Every structure is written in structure tokens, then in C-alpha cells.
């Protein structure tokens, strides 16, 4: 399977011809490249073949492309005519290792590094081309999530299946916890079906200007910026009533207060709530959720992409960005109205349902 993904290497010469060239070669550059080529003929991958010759995988990739396209003439260095390169091969490899150790880099930082370490300077218009030829990528960095497991999708799928298969033990109760208090409130009825929804807190602000709008004159807004310190705690229901409430903090008592409102708006049914492992979702919260007939499904650590309400928040902020509000009260009302409107759409969770949900079990 691994070999099928390797770049195909053209056989412009026989191995015997390569051996003959190696015996005649006197220049280290030629010896190194011919040795690289022979390593490829013997089955090495490009990174392996380059490493045997003391070169980086990026350099090996350039050599392989040159060989495939132009054969021996393309592979061999030509320093006889034209302007010589500002950095020779060894210096280019040294630069790549420096960049690897300190990545990521801004263009200005690389420009400074080239001047300080090698005494050379490239035009800003050419620097990008030079770096791409070295095998570098120019893209927005994506933060790594060290606590995310290797298989978050599989873990969540197992947790959803476990929640759908109702057992005798309280779903929210962890192994080893005492049995006292794990009872559903007497006035709670959960035999009328199941409501599935997604739960999360966010902090939208009324001064987001990330969305572009059209202006005749200078683009500006003449208003006094307002701000809210409260959290918006939302419930995005697929087959029930959604809601969003503002709380002064996200402590367990506030979170439980929102759970109670979710229960009030979705009476008579069991509620499955998909959420992340927020600090407030402790035993106190899990037990109160159980008393309300709400079973919690925690997504794996570091995997917010598995909670569709994240898309709801993004769309809400984008929708509200150009809207001018006078004060915090008006903003909160606008958030609630917008949230109610957009959560009528289940498209935010379509992919999630196709991947994780067994509709037969849900019904």
C-alpha cells in the first residue's frame, strides 16, 4: 500500500550505466546525485534515497522531478553558464534545516535569516518562489490539539451508541461513584420519544466587524461600542425546541439552570445532549441532568469539530456582524432571535447525523 503512493521514477538509464557514471565521476555533486538515483533504483523512497546521501527529503523531491523530466541532463548541476545560485546545494539544505527547527516563519524573518546567516538577499517578489522550490508551504497554521485522541470519531460513535442503548444504570453516572441521588425527578416524563440536541457556550460580541459590507463613502460606523461579559449558552435541537440563554458565568449552577429550561421547553421526552467536557460538567451537573431525564454524550477532548453547534455559533456571528445595536439588551435580544431562526435548519448537523446516528435506535 505504501509503495503504491510513491512517485514513479523514470528509468532513463540502466543500473549498469549509472555504475559506469559513478566510476567516472570526480565532482561530489555528481557522485551524490548519481548515488541518490541508484538508491531509488534499489527501491528506496525519495526521502530514504536522499537521506543516504546526506540530503533532505525536499532536495530529493527536486532531484527526482528533475530526473523524471529531463533525465541525466536535468539531474546533474550546471554551474558553467549563467548566474550561479546565491546558495549552493549544501547551503540550501542547511537553510531548510534551520527553517524546520524554527518554523513557522514570516517572510520578513526568513529575509533577515538569509542576510544574517548566509549574507544573501532575495527580492520580495522572488523569495516566495525560492522557498517553494525548496519544498516549503505557505499556508495558515492550524493549531495542534495535544489532548485530542487519535480516533475521536470512533470514540464518539461508541458513546452515541451507548447512549441510544438505554440500560438500567444511569447513563451520566461514572463507574465508582456512589448510587445515592441518581434518580429521575418524580414530575419528569421521558417515555414520549427522544430529543437529540447539541449544547455549548459561546461569547458573541456586538462589535464584530469581520464581515465586509458596501459603502458609498468611507467605511465606518458612528456608534459607541457596546460589550457583554455574559456567556451565551445554547441548545441546538434537531427534533425539539432550541434555546439560548445568557448567564453571568459558566459555573455548574448556571449550566444546570439552562438544563432546567431545556427540560421545560422539551417536556415528556428523553433528551440526549451532545457537549464537550466543559469544566462545569462535573458530577453535580451530570447528576442534575439525570434528575431532569437528560443523558449527556461527551465529545472526545480537543474535538470541537464534532459538535455541530460550533457551526451554529459561527453562522450566528457572521449573520450579525454588520448589524448595529444600541446597547447590550438589544444585542442579547438579537442573539436570541437570530439563534431561534437559524436553529430551525438541521443542515448544520446533517453530516454528523449521517456519520453517528442510528435513526432506528433514536425512534
Residues 191 and 258 in one domain: yes
DSSP 85: P
Give the per-residue pLDDT at 54.
87
What is the CATH number for 350? 3.30.420.10
Residues 324 and 340 in one domain: yes
Give the per-residue pLDDT at 143.
62
Residues 180 and 314 in one domain: yes
Give the per-residue pLDDT at 115.
87
Residue finishing a domain among 81, 108, 127? 81
Q: What is the pTM of this model?
A: 0.61
Query: Cα–Cα distance between 110 and 130 in angstroms, integer?
Result: 11
Average pLDDT value for the chain? 85
- Asked if 98 and 37 touch (Cβ cutoff 8 Å), the reply is no
Residue 184: band (very low, low, confident or very high) from pLDDT cuts 50, 70, 90: very high
Residues 161 and 293 in one domain: yes
All three cell numbers of 331: 444585542
Give the per-residue pLDDT at 154.
93
Give the per-residue pLDDT at 343.
95
Give the per-residue pLDDT at 82.
47
Who wins on pLDDT, 117 or 273?
Answer: 273
Residues spanned by the domain of 6 = 1-81
Query: Cα–Cα distance between 267 and 263 in angstroms, integer?
Result: 6
Mean pLDDT of 2-23: 78
All three cell numbers of 117: 546567516
Give the CA-trace dihedral at 293, 297, 301, 302, to 10 degrees. -110
Residues 64 and 111 in one domain: no
Please say if the pLDDT value at position 271 is more than 90. Answer: yes
Q: What percent of the chain has pLDDT over 90?
A: 38
Place of cell 538569509: 114
Residues 232 and 350 in one domain: yes
Among 155, 177, 204, CA closest to 342: 204
Residues 29 and 156 in one domain: no
Query: Cα–Cα distance between 307 and 64 in angstroms, integer?
Result: 43
**Model confidence pLDDT, tens digit, residues 85-94:** 678 888 888 8
Please say if the pLDDT value at position 294 is more than 50. Answer: yes
Is 343 part of any domain?
yes
Which helix (H) or strand (E) segment holds residue 198: the answer is strand 194-202
Is 107 part of any domain?
yes
Please say if the pLDDT value at position 27 is more than 70. Answer: yes
Mean pLDDT of 278-285: 82
β 243-247/231-237 pair status = antiparallel
Residues 10 and 97 in one domain: no
Give the per-residue pLDDT at 3.
39
Residues 103 and 64 in one domain: no
Residues 68 and 89 in one domain: no
User: Domains in the chain: how many in total?
Assistant: 3
Residues 181 and 283 in one domain: yes
Amino acid at each position: 500500500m505504501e509503495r503504491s503512493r510513491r512517485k514513479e521514477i523514470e528509468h532513463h538509464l540502466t543500473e549498469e550505466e549509472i555504475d559506469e557514471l559513478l566510476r567516472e565521476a570526480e565532482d561530489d555533486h555528481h557522485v551524490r546525485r548519481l548515488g541518490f538515483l541508484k538508491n531509488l533504483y534499489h527501491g528506496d523512497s525519495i526521502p530514504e534515497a536522499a537521506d543516504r546521501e546526506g540530503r533532505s527529503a525536499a532536495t530529493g523531491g527536486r532531484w527526482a522531478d528533475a530526473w523524471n523530466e529531463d533525465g541525466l541532463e536535468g539531474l546533474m548541476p550546471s554551474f558553467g553558464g549563467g548566474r550561479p545560485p546565491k546558495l549552493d546545494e549544501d547551503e540550501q539544505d542547511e537553510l531548510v534545516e534551520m527553517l524546520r527547527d524554527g518554523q513557522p516563519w514570516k517572510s520578513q524573518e526568513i529575509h533577515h535569516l538569509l542576510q544574517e546567516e548566509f549574507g544573501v538577499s532575495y527580492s520580495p517578489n522572488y523569495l516566495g518562489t525560492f522557498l517553494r522550490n525548496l519544498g516549503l508551504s505557505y499556508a495558515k497554521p492550524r493549531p495542534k490539539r495535544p489532548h485530542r485522541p487519535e480516533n475521536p470519531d470512533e470514540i464518539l460513535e461508541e458513546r452515541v451508541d451507548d447512549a441510544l442503548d438505554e440500560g438500567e444504570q444511569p447513563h451520566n453516572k461514572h463507574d465508582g461513584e456512589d448510587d445515592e441521588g441518581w434518580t429521575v425527578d418524580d414530575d419528569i416524563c421521558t417515555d414520549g420519544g427522544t430529543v437529540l440536541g447539541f449544547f455549548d457556550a459561546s461569547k458573541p460580541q456586538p462589535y464584530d466587524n469581520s464581515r465586509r459590507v458596501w459603502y458609498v463613502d468611507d467605511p465606518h460606523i458612528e456608534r459607541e461600542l457596546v460589550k457583554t461579559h455574559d456567556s451565551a449558552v445554547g441548545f441546538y435541537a434537531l427534533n425539539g425546541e432550541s434555546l439560548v440563554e445568557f448567564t453571568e458565568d459558566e459555573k455548574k449552577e448556571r449550566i444546570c439552570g439552562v438544563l432546567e429550561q431545556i427540560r421545560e421547553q422539551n417536556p415528556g421526552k428523553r433528551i440526549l445532549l451532545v457537549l464537550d467536557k466543559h469544566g462545569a460538567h462535573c458530577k453535580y451537573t451530570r447528576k442534575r441532568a439525570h434528575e431532569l431525564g437528560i443523558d449527556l454524550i461527551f465529545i472526545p477532548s480537543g474535538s470541537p469539530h464534532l459538535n455541530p453547534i460550533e457551526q451554529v455559533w459561527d453562522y450566528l456571528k457572521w449573520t450579525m456582524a454588520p448589524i448595529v445595536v444600541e446597547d447590550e439588551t438589544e444585542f442579547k435580544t438579537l442573539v436570541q432571535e437570530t439563534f431561534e431562526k437559524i436553529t430551525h435548519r438541521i443542515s448544520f448537523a446533517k453530516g454528523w447525523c449521517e456519520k453517528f446516528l442510528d435513526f432506528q435506535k433514536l425512534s
